[in-house]
Structures are given as structure tokens and as C-alpha cells.
Amino acid sequence: MALERKIQLAAYGLFIAALFLAPAFGDEFWLNRIAKYLVYGMLGVAIALTWGYAGILNLGQGLFFGMGAYMLAMSLKLSSPTSLAQGSDTPVPDFMLWNAEPGAPTDLCCINKGSVLWLPFQHQWFGLAMGIVLPVVIAGVLGAIIFRKRISGVFVSIITLALVLLVRLVLVDAQPITNGFNGLTDLGWLTIGGIEFDPYSRATYYLCAASLSLTLIAARLLADTRASLILQAIRDDQLRARYLGFDVPVYQTFFFVVSAAIAGYAGMLYVVVTEFASPTFMDLSFSVTMVVWAAVGGRSSLLGACIGAILINMIEAQVSETEALVEAWKAIIGLIFVLVVLFMPRGLGGLAHSLVARFQRDEQPSVSATAGAARSETA
Amino acid sequence: MNQALALNGLSVAFGGFKAIKNVSLSVASGELRVLLGANGAGKTTLMDLISGKIRSTDGSVRVFGHDITNWPEHRIARAGIGRKFQIPSVFRDLTVEQNIQVACCNKHPSVFANLRFGVSAEQRRRIAEILDLTGLVAVARKTAAFLSHGQTQWLELGMLMAQDPKVILLDEPTAGMTHAETSKTADIINRLKGRHTLLVVEHDMGFVREIAQHITVLHLGEVLAEGSVAEIETDARVRAAYLGSKGIS
């Protein structure tokens, strides 16, 4: 037990050290790309928390990611130079002018019916705060409804899946204030305390690395609490947990909300790194892809799911850019998924876990007799 | 006498079919009461009603004077009722120790009260004690899914000890057990007597004699008879309805 703990600590330490050492090995372009993968890593952590620990398979995590992204993108859009050069004293997004009715005043208050919603986003802190607050509130309400109604298993997946598609539809339809299919592009840079986060700078990379590290550590600590143990108990047998006196929906909603907050945070970082927000964040395929990352990395391991997300994206980029494989790369990625699901159902994290267990058995022959007996019984 | 559990005119109907009809029952504090009855007599349904799994259509349930009729399950549990299911129900992916630890957390059951690490020294001592009482020390680190049937039953009893409810409902605690396992279970249950009030559904008459003081016989959703083991064994109505002419074998 203690040895396992030490190895786990070492793995986290090594991973975080690697994050901060990476800038020594590549140029700004490469770092920007890795920063994007680190954001995906945060999504892996968010999925592992709900899927692995709570047994809630959310097929609409993109909803919270997209919300975070759009909230910050709205603020950054208003701070972009083009929004300030539209012939008014206050910033106005360019796409609103393109579609404005003749004679409409060039001001956020009334250029179109919904534009007033944009007003508070002139303050960057408002966009930053809403990037977390909105996913948290929506997840809280959604979780309270779903879990109070005792909906579980595949039905939660169907509801979340339907919801992300619904919101995507509304987002595209609200073209006057969201720029529809085109999303929000041509954004300004995030500025905090005088530091400008140019996407192709080390500062932005370190922001992502620090955010991922903090998320991992916080999620790990959360997973070590008694509340997490009770959550896992609820995952195994809801009814039993109820009869022990636990208010099951509150536990499920709490962890669902934490996961949504992480996804919202990741969405904001993604906007900083890639300088756009688009309805594709709420595509079904993106939300499903996140689940695949977590499955490959190991859904019951926070670090595993995180590494899974980063690794798959690195392999994907490598393979898709190799000339000989341009036609075949999707098949290769698909094959990797199939092999992992067939031969490592618990993913990379599960594999590491079994290796540690085997190592432990070899190390301590005195214990191995009982452990071995226990294992052969279980086999 | 101090009443731990009092049912008053409890009834439930499923689409016109009255599964429980006007059942009144009173169990004194510290008593062990056995519920006897043929299949379909309503024993498990009665437990479901008390623990909140199904809602009654009439009547009331009181625990030490508090009316808990039709409360949500977790609030009934917090009011002091613990339950063991007929099909043993434990947290299969957690270790034996973790299972008992979860049950220990029920003194402060909210999420925020549990956003802390580890267990207190007091709880650790209690967990060790429970593992010892239930004979699960050797398998404490084992995942619960890999326990034998008997061990799973004992683990669930251990979880009840950790939960420490005032009233314990046991639904066929010896179902599917070997003779040796049954007598160990009787030991565990006898240890719970006095400290807790118990209501036990059981078919095995040998086992009932080992643990019972009072027996209540249910028949077709109604209380047919109530009394000591000897009284029930000689009751003509019980013989006719349940035991058969040969008596308790």
C-alpha cells in the first residue's frame, strides 16, 4: 500500500516536472501545440472524475467546455483591435456590424436585439468569472434534476448528449450575437496583471502547464477525501448508500459540478491558446473523443486519463503529418483504440496499476504468499 | 416499556392488491423480534415500508416516538434504522476495510463534512474491532467483489455495526449459508442483541430458536400471531397457515 502510494506520488511529480521542462526542447510553435494538448489533458481529468469515480458517463462534457470557451472569447473579442475600430467609442464585434440593420446605432446597447448581453463582457474579469460560473450553475441545476429523479447509467449519457446538441443548435441559431457557425475569431489577448498571453509565447505555455498541474493536484486531493470514497460507494450500489444515510444526489451533483468547472476552465484556456471559439466545441464527436481519451488513459486514474488525452493527440498529430500515412492515419488511430479496449480495458492507468502490484509481489515474498493466494482466488 | 419501533395500522396496496393489511407491531428497545411467514406473506414488503423503499398507503411508522412514515430512505437511515438486504448488498469495487469505513462516515453524512482525509484514531479502532467481530481481518484489503457468499453477508453485518443504527432490519441473514456459517452468523447477531433493537426475517427454524425471544407471524399481509417461540410452535392457526401439521421441524 505504502509503496503504491510512493510510486503514485513519483508519477505525479515526474509528470509535472516534465510539463515545466518541456519548453527547453522545442520552439514556440511546438509549445503552442503542446499547450493545446495540455488543455485536452484537463478534459481527461474532468471525465475521469465523473466516469471513473462517480460512474457517470457524461457524453456532453463539450457543453461545459464550450461555455467556458465562449464566455472568455466574448471578453477577448471586445478587447480585439478590430472591435475598437468600428467607428464607435465603445468596442463592437465586427460581425454585428456586418449583419446590422441599416441605421442601427453602432453600440452594444442596441445594435441588435441581443447585443446588450455583451455589455458586461467589456470587463475581462467578467468573462473570466463567467467561464467558471456558467458551467457550474448549469451543471448544478442539471445534476440536481437528473440525480434527484434517480436517473442513472445510460440515461444520463443520453440526456447529456441530447443537451449538448440542443445548445449547439441554439448557439448556431443565435447568429446575431454568436456569429453562428463561424464562431468567435480575431480575438484579443488575455491580459492579467500586465502580462499579455500571446498564444505563441512561453507565458501562455506556462499558464497551461500550471493550470493542468493545479487541476491534477486538486483533483487528486479531492479523490483522496472520504467524500470521494463515499462517491465510489454510491457508484457501486446507490441503494446501499442511501440506507447508510447518504443523500446520494448531493454527492453526485457535487462531483458533476467539479467536473464541469474543470471543463469550463479548460475551455477558457483553449481560447487563449487557439484564439477562437466555435460551435464545433459542442459537436457530438468532440465530447465522444474526450471519453475515448479517458478510456485509453484509464478512466479510474486521473493522471492516466490526462496522459491518455495528451498522448493520443501527440500520436494523432505525428501520424497525420507523416506523408506515407496521410491516407491511413485515421485507421491507425482507430486500431489503437480497438487494441486498447480489447487488451487493456482499464487503460494505461490500469496497466501501470497491475505492474506496480506485480512488482510489489516480487519485492515482498513474505506478503506474497497471502497476496498470491488472494489473487489466484480472484482469477 | 420503551418502544423502539412501532407500526400502527400500516397498509400498502399495489394497484388494488393489498400486500400489507393494517399491520400493527411494537418492538421494545433492545429486543430481537423474528418475523415469520410463508412466501408472499409480506415480510420483505414490511421491511421495505419501514426503511422507505416503498411508500405506505395508510398507517404510521415510529422510531423511538418519531414519526418517520414515508420519509426518504437516507433520512430514515439517519433517524436510526439500518437494513441488511436479502441479497447481500455491499460496495463491490471497494475493499472490505473501505466498505466499513464508508459505513462509519454516516455520523456526518454531508459532502462538505467529508471533504477531509483519512479516518480518526477512534474510527480506526472501531473498524479494526468490527473486522475482528465479523472474522474478516484476513481479507480486510481484499476487494469485496471477491468475497465468498458468507463473507459478503458478514461484511454487510459489519457495515451495519459501523453504521450503528438504533434499529436493525435483517432480511434472511442466513440465506444460502452452510451450517457452520449459519452458526457464526447467529454469534454475530447475538452480539448485536441488547445494544440494538433487531427485526429479523428468517425461515431457518433452527436458527430462529438460537436467536429469537419473540416471534411475529405474518400471513397474507396480516399479523396472524405473536408470542414466544414455544407459544408460536403450539399455535393452531400458525400450524394451519404455515408450519404444517408436523409443527416446527
B81-133: pLDDT as tens digits: 999 988 889 999 999 999 999 999 888 899 988 998 888 889 999 999 999 99
* Minimum-distance CB partner of A247 among B82, B109, B118: B109
A307 closest CA partner among A248, A351, A261: A351
Q: Which helix (H) or strand (E) holds B24?
A: strand B17-28
| Residue B21 grid coordinates | 393489511
What DSSP designation does B54 have? S
Residues A251/A227, Cβ–Cβ less than 8 Å: yes
B176 φ, ψ to 5°? 75, 15
Residue type (1 letter), A65: F
Which range among A156-170, A200-214, B20-34 shows the weakest confidence by mean pLDDT?
B20-34
| Residue B67 grid coordinates | 414519526
Quote the pLDDT of residue A86. 79
Does the beta-carbon distance from A244 to B163 stay under 8 Å?
Answer: yes
Q: Is the pLDDT of residue A371 over 50?
A: no
A354 closest CA partner among A304, A307, A309, A290: A304
pLDDT band at A377 (very low <50, low <70, confident <90, very high): very low
Q: Which residue has the higher pLDDT, B213 or A147?
A: A147
Quote the pLDDT of residue A336. 85
Chain B residues within an 8 Å CB radius of A222: 115
Spatial separation of the C-alpha atoms in residues A138 and A279, rounded to whole Å = 18
Does the beta-carbon distance from A236 to B93 stay under 8 Å?
Answer: yes
Quote the pLDDT of residue A9. 93
| Residue A245 grid coordinates | 444515510
B157 closest CA partner among B180, B179, B183, B135: B135
Quote the pLDDT of residue A370. 40
Chain A residues within an 8 Å CB radius of B124: none
Residues B95/B142, Cβ–Cβ less than 8 Å: yes
For the beta sheet containing B32-36, the strands, ordered from the edge strand earlier in sequence to the opposite edge, are B81-84, B167-171, B197-201, B32-36, B214-219, B222-228
Q: How confident is the model over A204-219, as a mean pLDDT? A: 97
B91 closest CA partner among B33, B38, B158: B158
pLDDT band at B37 (very low <50, low <70, confident <90, very high): confident
pLDDT digits (tens, 9 = 90+) for A119-144: 999 999 999 999 999 999 999 999 99
Residue type (1 letter), B221: G
CA dihedral A43, A49, A50, A53 (to 10 degrees): 150
Q: Which helix (H) or strand (E) holds B218?
A: strand B214-219
Quote the pLDDT of residue B174. 87
Rounded to a whole number of angstroms, the distance from the CA of B118 to the nearest CA of chain A is: 7
Which range among A189-193, A209-213, A274-278, B36-40 shows the weakest confidence by mean pLDDT?
B36-40
Quote the pLDDT of residue A364. 53
| Number of helical (H) and strand (E) elements in chain B, helices listed first | 9, 10
Q: Is the pLDDT of residue A379 over 50?
A: no
Is residue B10 classed as helix, strand or coil in its secondary structure? strand
pLDDT digits (tens, 9 = 90+) for A225-274: 999 999 999 999 999 999 999 999 999 999 999 999 999 999 999 999 99
pLDDT digits (tens, 9 = 90+) for A274-322: 999 999 999 999 999 999 999 999 988 999 999 999 999 999 898 888 8
Q: Which helix (H) or strand (E) holds B33?
A: strand B32-36
Residues B157/B134, Cβ–Cβ less than 8 Å: yes
Residues B221/B49, Cβ–Cβ less than 8 Å: no
Quote the pLDDT of residue A363. 62
Query: What are the residue boundaries of the structural domains of chain A, listed by start?
Result: 32-283
Residues A73/A187, Cβ–Cβ less than 8 Å: yes
B114 touches chain A (CB under 8 A): yes
Q: Which residue blocks in A237-278 are alpha helix, DSSP H?
A: 238-243, 248-274
Asked whether residue B248 is assigned to any structural domain, the reply reads no
Chain B residues within an 8 Å CB radius of A242: 72-74, 77
Quote the pLDDT of residue A355. 86
Site from B44, B74, B92 to mutate, A interface, most A CB atoms within 10 angstroms: B74
pLDDT digits (tens, 9 = 90+) for A25-47: 989 999 999 999 999 999 999 99
A51 touches chain B (CB under 8 A): no
Quote the pLDDT of residue B202. 86
* Strand B197-201 to B167-171 pairing: parallel
Quote the pLDDT of residue A18. 96
Q: Which helix (H) or strand (E) holds A304?
A: helix A302-320
Highest averaged pLDDT of the listed ranges A79-88, A313-322, B145-154, B200-209 = B145-154
How high is the mean pLDDT of chain B?
A: 89
Spatial separation of the C-alpha atoms in residues A183 and A167, rounded to whole Å = 14
Does the beta-carbon distance from B118 to A226 stay under 8 Å?
Answer: yes
**N-term to C-term CA, chain B:** 33
DSSP string for residues in A52-107: IIH----TTHHHHHHHHHHHHHHHHHHTSHHHHTSSSSS---HHHHHTPPTT--SS
Chain A residues within an 8 Å CB radius of B110: 247, 250
Spatial separation of the C-alpha atoms in residues A342 and B249, rounded to whole Å = 54
Residue type (1 letter), B142: K
Asked whether residue B77 is assigned to any structural domain, the reply reads yes
Contacts of A224 by beta carbon, 8 Å cutoff, 6+ apart: B117
| Residue A272 grid coordinates | 487563449
* Dihedral sign of CA atoms B194, B198, B204, B209 in order: positive
Residue type (1 letter), B88: P
Q: Is the pLDDT of residue A375 over 50?
A: no
Q: ipTM score of the complex? A: 0.91
Residues A271/A221, Cβ–Cβ less than 8 Å: no
Asked whether residue B249 is assigned to any structural domain, the reply reads no
Chain B residues within an 8 Å CB radius of A239: 53, 73, 89
Domains contained in chain B, number? 1
pLDDT digits (tens, 9 = 90+) for A85-113: 877 788 999 999 888 888 888 888 888 88
Q: Is the pLDDT of residue A16 over 80?
A: yes
DSSP string for residues in B156-207: HHHHHHHH--SEEEEE-TTTT--HHHHHHHHHHHHHHBTTBEEEEE---HHH
Q: Is the pLDDT of residue A366 over 90?
A: no
Q: How confident is the model over B144-156, as a mean pLDDT? A: 93
Quote the pLDDT of residue A108. 87
Question: What is the share, in percent, of chain B residues with pLDDT greater than 70?
Answer: 96
Quote the pLDDT of residue A4. 83
Please report where in the chains the cell 400489507 appears, as a residue: B20
Is residue B217 classed as helix, strand or coil in its secondary structure? strand
Q: Count the neighbouring beta carbons within 10 Å of the beta carbon of residue A89.
A: 8
Q: Which residue has the higher pLDDT, B239 or A178?
A: A178
CATH code, B180: 3.40.50.300
Asked whether residue B10 is assigned to any structural domain, the reply reads yes
Please report where in the chains the cell 437494513 appears, as a residue: B83
* Minimum-distance CB partner of A233 among B94, B116, B141: B94
Quote the pLDDT of residue B8. 94
* Strand B197-201 to B32-36 pairing: parallel
B173 closest CA partner among A149, B192, A71, A169: B192
Report the length, in residues, of chain A.
379
Site from B68, B76, B89, B91 to mutate, A interface, most A CB atoms within 10 angstroms: B91
**Residue-range definition of the domain harbouring residue B153:** 3-243
DSSP string for residues in B108-142: S-STGGG-SBS--HHHHHHHHHHHHHTT-GGGTTS
Highest averaged pLDDT of the listed ranges A70-74, A97-101, B224-228 = A70-74
Does the beta-carbon distance from A226 to B114 stay under 8 Å?
Answer: yes
| Residue A341 grid coordinates | 479496449
